[in-house]
Structure 1
Amino acid sequence: MPGAEARPDNRVDWRPEAGRAALLIHDMQEYFLDKYYRDQAPIPMLLDHTRQLLDHARANGIPVFYTAQPTEQPDSDRALLNDFWGPGLPAHPELYPIVARLAPTADEVVLTKWRYSAFQRSDLRAQLRELGRDQLIITGIYGHIGCMATALEAFMQDVQPFFVYDAVADFSASEHRMATDYVARNCGVSLTTADTIAALDSARGFDLAAFEAEIERLLETPLEEIPGDENLMLAGMDSIRLMSLAERLRREGIEVGFADLVEHATLDEWREIFRAGGMK
């Protein structure tokens, strides 16, 4: 999975805003994840980062949309897709569901996916308009196919697309980078999960409460249940989550690195680092 070092030069300075954005979790069905070794890169980070964005959206009233290919795909509906990919999911009905870690709630929208773009043969644009949303945060698989096509069509429908390239997976590193660069040059903004969450929070300011909320979201545990002197690496703060936190702090102008957070790993120490504005 590419990280902050792969951030392209975006042509525009758009930033996602909580009051304008919707989150799209694109084609995260068991069928597509089954094409990967799930315990190897990029899948653990794909799931972790997408879950962070999902939790943030739910906590901040950001609408969440999913796409999923249907269980019935007659040749007349699948059409040209058959020539490229064959019958697709119909041969594997046990793999239709969206992966459990990202499963939608009853009030979240699952769009039936017929073509590469999530806008094709769906009412996604109408739903965004009804919700007063003109930004789309895109995660999922595959980067250079459906995710990129959705970003391009969002742009053509006057919706600002944000391609969260470390919450997207692809066939290869080269195709992943191509999609990231294409969006940055032609139709949207390519950014990291940490960039996205930082931007969504920026309107209210990244204060101590927001910092603690970020830690709580990463740990998936209420902070009142964690003693201030407990080593957070033993409480579930693994290296992927810690890298995300370090990048978030960097984006907020707080000078602290991954190694600093490992060395000073209690909640009390992190609060003190935050209040001081970084390591001295």
Structure 2
Amino acid sequence: MGLPAIDSYPMPGSSVLPRPHVSWRIDPARCALLVHGMQNHFVGAFPAGRSPVVELVDNIVALRELAGALGLPVVFSAESTGQRPGRRGLMAEVWDSGTGHEPDAAAIIEPLVPRPGEHLLSNVRHNAFLRSHLGRLLRSEGRDQLIVCGVYAHRGVLLTAADAFMNDIQPFIVADAVADLSAEEHSMALRWAARSGVVCSTAALLRDLLLHRGRRNT
């Protein structure tokens, strides 16, 4: 099947975000940032220079910069190139060969290239926890909150957030730092994510991280 063509659509604003079912508050001492699937192959499917990809990249860059400044673990999850059909399992029947065999296709996009000290995990399923050591990494860092951003909202982002919840890790899904195949699927993913996590805007999350750090330093 491969990736369908993605039309431009407006990134959702904070006024239309679903109401959370939980009252969790982000804590820089407890959280890590996961940037999921921000590879040339997947990001390149969006219309360049238009919504939602412009806001997607800008907002993830802002999250990554503050995470680094606050000492949060920053984790990138990405599909590797040249996966055998047997390794991909049923994924090969639905989404062909993923990123294919070209290294450039599997590379993280230029504005988000991982830096020394950041983590790059290879994943073979949409769920970043499955068949990776993401869970062990978070436990070793003493982190029980996970900020999730990247693509695609109704696949990797939603499945990863759900698995975090199932493993007693509080997921924070950043509504305008994820994108999807359509506005409808984006909105659907946020509604589902709000049932077992906090759906928030980039601006609100950045503000809360800074406010929490300020309270701890006073």
Q: Same fold (TM over 0.5)?
A: yes
| C-alpha distance in 1 between matches for 2:208 and 2:74 | 17
Q: Secondary structure at the match of 1:90?
A: coil
| CA offset digits 1:152-171 (Å, max 9, x no partner) | 00000110000001000100
1:132 paired residue among 139, 142, 147: 142
Q: Please give the root-mean-square deviation of Cα atoms over the aligned residues, in Å.
A: 1.1
Contact 1:143 1:169 survives alignment (8 Å)? yes
Aligned counterpart, 1:50: 60
TM-score, normalised via structure 2 length: 0.91
Larger radius of gyration: 1
- Asked whether the equivalents of residues 165 and 190 of structure 1 are also in contact (C-alpha less than 8 Å), the reply is yes
**Runs of 4+ residues deviating >4 angstroms:** none
- In structure 2, how many angstroms separate the alpha carbons of the residues matched to 1:150 and 1:80? 18
- The structural deviation recorded for 1:95 is 1.2
Aligned to 1:140, the other structure's residue is in SS state: strand
Separation in structure 1 between the aligned mates of residue 167 and residue 105 of structure 2, nearest angstrom:
32
Matched ranges for 1:94-243 at <5 A:
94-185=104-195, 187-205=196-214
Contact 2:28 2:213 in 1 (8 A): no
2:42 to 29, 32, 40: 32
- Name whichever structure is richer in helix by fraction: 1
Q: Is the 8 A contact 2:82 2:101 kept in 1?
A: no
Give the superposition deviation at 1:205.
3.6
Secondary structure at 2:194's aligned position in 1?
A: helix
1:249-264 equivalent positions in 2, closer than 5 A: none
Separation in 2, partners of 1:201, 1:151: 23
Could you give the per-residue CA deviations for residues 168-216 of structure 1, whole angstroms, max 9, x where no partner exists?
A: 010011110111111112x11100001111121222448xxxxxxxxxx
Percentage of pairs with the same residue: 41
SS in 1 for 2:34: strand
Structure 2, unaligned stretches of length 5 or more? 1-10
**Which stretches in structure 1 are left out of the alignment for 5+ residues?**
207-280
Report what 2:15 is aligned to.
5
Query: Match for 1:197: what amino acid?
Result: L
Distance 2:64 2:82 in 1: 28
Structure 1 Cα separation of the partners of residues 85 and 166 of structure 2? 28
Aligned residue pair count: 205
Instruction: Measure the CA separation in 2 of the matches of 1:118 and 1:204.
Output: 28
Q: Which residue does 1:73 correspond to in 2? A: 83
Give me the whole-angstrom Cα distance separating, in 2, the residues matched to 1:126 and 1:94. Answer: 29
**What is the aligned partner in structure 2 of residue 21 from structure 1?**
31
CA contact (8 A) 1:31 1:92 kept: no
